Amino acid sequence: MMQHIALSDLQQSYAALFEIDANLDRLVKKIELLSYVNPLNIEKEKHRFFASKYVLEPEFRYPKLKFSPYKIHRLFFSQRLERIEDEQIRQLYNDIIYYYAIMVQCIASIGEKKKFHYNSLRVYGSPTEKDVENARFILHYADEPVHADMEKVFGAEEAKNYFEDFAKRYDFPLHIKFSTHIAADAMVSNASQTLLIKRNAKFSQNQLLTLANHEIGVHLVTTHNGQEQPLKIFSNGFPKNVETQEGLAVFSEYMSGALTLKRLKELAYRVLASDSLIKGYSFSDTFDLIHNQYKLNRADAFSVTLRAHRGGGFTKDRLYLSGLQKIYKRYLKEESMEILLSGKVSIDYLAPIQKLHQLGLAQKNRHTNLAYHQNLNTNKTLDFILNNLK
């Protein structure tokens, strides 16, 4: 009851802010990028690509738009931000509107290669020279021996059972759906608060532990924390939140003892695949780089290449490694991760988030990441690599 009264008081005191936040919430709910950028015909085009000896460029199909980009843009820029009295919060919402406006352009241009890639660069950027050097530094390490827990022997139903058991330690419901239209083996849909599992995927024991700590331990934790915040932007996402959120998620893998050199190399391959886009590489060119030059097996090389080339050139995957590096540095300084788990927030917006907390417009997290309580990593090679990234 006290919380309800407090929220009512906040809504009265900051009426303009809550009105604009609610308006943006209605608009942003329609534009979850990942629900549009994943191709509908991945398996068919994968088979065709392999049958052609890696020559024929895949021809991916994408879901149809369920909104009008023009109307959404018009409504975004009709928000009267001057009504928000606090300058720092007003600037935050200004940045939010521009961020989502570019996201709309991204979605509207899916399948138009150069146009989509340009819009993707505006949202996610391109790998820096240091990012590429870090990726190559990781890849120069020899592969570690394959252990039994790395063999892919579990199906989607077994993965579902594992995730349901894992989620019992968290105080929120777990909704799981099977999908054939996702690039990853498992991912969280923030809009529907659902863990999606690729129906035809096979999982290793280590991969299940990795995904559980990544998807449930971070992405679902921030989904539920975000939804319990007074302002909806914590749920929908701050500008540049992907690097922070994926960094937190991979760091959760590290702290739980699930992170392996193989997984770290996967993130390095993603950086190189993203870098190949800016060089004008075709799908087959990127695949050749990852499969023939770096000797990654063809199934995983296809997955890395697909993730980079979906939509027409998608650079989101470059952010996992740089995100991990930033979160790891924060960990070495013994700085708390709690403020970063308060929703889909970004490390670049710590000052306005702290301001929102001071004003009572953000509240303490109900859910936390359990892996962060104790470092279970025993792989000294990983520690050396993470301590020596540029």
Give the per-residue pLDDT at 18.
96
Residue 332 has pLDDT above 80, yes or no: yes
- H-helix or E-strand containing 306? helix 298-309
Give the per-residue pLDDT at 45.
95
State the Cα–Cα distance between residues 118 and 139, nearest whole angstrom: 28
Give the per-residue pLDDT at 148.
85
Give the per-residue pLDDT at 370.
95
Please name the residues in contact with 227: beta carbons below 8 A apart, sequence gap of 6 or more: 193, 234, 235
Give the per-residue pLDDT at 331.
97
Q: What angle do CA 324, 325, 330 make, to 5 degrees?
A: 95
Residue 137 has pLDDT above 60, yes or no: yes
Task: Output the average pLDDT for the chain.
Answer: 93
Give the per-residue pLDDT at 5.
52
**Can you spell out the DSSP letters for 177-232?**
EEESS-SSSEEEETTTTEEEEETT--B-HHHHHHHIIIIIIIIIHHHHHHHTSSST
Residue 172 has pLDDT above 80, yes or no: yes
Q: What is the pLDDT of residues 84-100, one digit of tens each?
A: 999 999 999 999 999 99
Instruction: Point out which residues pair with 189 in neighbouring strands.
Output: 194
Enter the tokens of residue 336. Answer: 């708390």
More confident residue, 78 or 33: 78
More confident residue, 194 or 22: 22
State the Cα–Cα distance between residues 340 and 248, nearest whole angstrom: 8
Q: Are 315 and 322 in contact (CB under 8 A)?
A: no
Please name the residues in contact with 134: beta carbons below 8 A apart, sequence gap of 6 or more: 268, 271, 321, 322, 325, 389, 390
Indicate the pTM of the whole model: 0.90
Residue 190 has pLDDT above 90, yes or no: no
Residue-level length of the chain: 390
More confident residue, 189 or 239: 239
Residue 55 has pLDDT above 50, yes or no: yes
Mean of pLDDT values over 206-229 = 94
Q: What angle do CA 117, 272, 155 make, to 5 degrees?
A: 90
- H-helix or E-strand containing 176? strand 175-179
State the Cα–Cα distance between residues 42 and 200, nearest whole angstrom: 12
What confidence category does residue 374 fall into, taking pLDDT thresholds of 50, 70 and 90?
A: very high
Mean of pLDDT values over 360-386 = 95
182 CB neighbour count, 10 Å cutoff: 20
Mean of pLDDT values over 104-129 = 94
Residue 4 has pLDDT above 60, yes or no: no
Exposed/middle/buried for residue 211 (C-beta within 10 Å: 0-12, 13-18, 19+)? buried
Mean of pLDDT values over 183-207 = 87
Residue 38: phi, psi to the nearest 5?
A: -80, 125
What confidence category does residue 2 fall into, taking pLDDT thresholds of 50, 70 and 90?
A: very low
Mean of pLDDT values over 289-297 = 94
Among 125-134, 165-174, 300-309, 323-332, whose mean pLDDT is lowest? 165-174
